[in-house]
Structure 1
Amino acid sequence: MNRCTPAPHSPPASTGRRLHAARALAAASLSALACLAMPAHAQVQPGLGVARNFPDASLRGSLTVQGGSDAVLNGRNIRMAPGMRLFSPQNSLVMLHTVQGQTFKVNYLIENSTGMLLSAWILTEGEAAQPRNGSDTIQFNFRTDSDPTKK
């Protein structure tokens, strides 16, 4: 038994206008958010005068990521620390699995107590041209008469 019959119902005209206004507001909000995100992305692009400051203890070398926690640094095998961070020239983090087998000129830090690779920064051409000591350079605190650097 049906006590009431459903009456044909159509929304009032004002509901349609409110729905249209809400959609327009949402679209405007999304485009405003997209515009705010663009300057932040542009600040890390190379060539805009952004100079990275490397730690004084960092050394220069050639890094090849092998896989897992293994890498080759200046021709020698080295283990990467569990929290190893590799930074791109734009100073963003690089996932290590995406650069396996590739060789980069880097500045790097070795963790003192374990000897593991802790951080590395992939260098731009301008940064690579600046002099910095590497772990493969020979440094002495004494001189001999047969020292080849004197000649």
Structure 2
Amino acid sequence: MNRCTTTGSPFPHCFRHALLAGLACSFLTIAMPAAAQVQAGLGLTRPFPDSALRGTLTLSNTADAVLNGKAIRIAPGMRLFSPQNTLVMTHSVLGQTFKVNYVLENSTGMLHAAWILTEREAAQPRKGSDTITTNITTGSGAVLK
């Protein structure tokens, strides 16, 4: 029977191996870039809310973002979903730009939730927030869009 023995070291031999293995695993996860952590979709069909709009999202920091070229505040508790529909921590994708479906809070106008889209989802048409429709008519009766 093999037992851990101390040979002048404050840690037994088997504990040193476990410690080295744990450190090696932690270095591998630290070295992986954030882009590698957000993989392509797995063929899932995600049901987006009817109120979700399409846009381009760049996370500036954990409180601010740029949505369709305009600065916007991120709501406390904002959820960012990966293409696999898992939560993405915003600090892990700072500075990256994604094509997203998103929902704004009605009362504050802050970004409430966003879904990073796969290429197939991005190809499907959805209304974006960059279209402005008004009910103002000109003398010729044309509707401005």
**Could you say which TM-score interval applies, normalised by the shorter chain?**
0.5 to 0.7
**Rounded Cα–Cα distance in structure 1 between residues aligned with 2:108 and 2:94:** 23
CA offsets 1:84-114 (integer angstroms, 9 cap, x no match): 0000000000010110000000000000001
Specify the alignment match of 2:50 in structure 1.
56
**1:104 match:** 98
Letter in 1 for 2:57: L
**TM-score after normalising by structure 2:** 0.65
The match for 1:75 is: 69
Q: Which amino acid aligns with 1:51?
A: T
Superposed CA deviations along residues 34-90 of structure 1, whole A, max 9, x for unmatched, are xxxxxxxxxxx7343x21000000000000000120000000100000110000000
- After the TM superposition, which residues 16-95 of structure 1 pair with which residues of structure 2 at under 5 Å, given as runs? 46-48=41-43, 50-95=44-89
Matches within 5 A, 1:116-135: 116-135=110-129
TM-score norm. by structure 1 comes to 0.63
Question: Could you tell me how far 1:134 is from its partner in structure 2?
Answer: 1.0
Aligned to 2:129, the other structure's residue is in SS state coil
Query: Displacement of 1:147 after TM fit?
Result: 4.6
Question: Is the Cα contact below 8 Å between 2:137 and 2:143 reproduced in 1?
Answer: no
Amino acid at match of 2:106: N
SS where residue 60 of structure 2 aligns?
Answer: strand
Q: Percent identity?
A: 64
How far apart are the structure 1 equivalents of 2:125 and 2:105?
22
Number of residue pairs the alignment of both structures matches: 105
The DSSP-based 3-state class of the residue aligned with 1:67 is coil
- 1:115 matches 2:109: yes
Counterpart AA for 1:54: F
Shifted more, 105-114 versus 140-149: the winner is 140-149
Q: Tell me by how many angstroms 1:138 deviates.
A: 2.3
- CA spacing shift, 1:148–1:115, aligned 2, 3 Å: closer
**Structure with greater Cα Rg:** 1
Unaligned runs of 5+ in 2: 1-39
In 2, the alpha carbon distance for the partners of 1:98 and 1:57 equals: 27
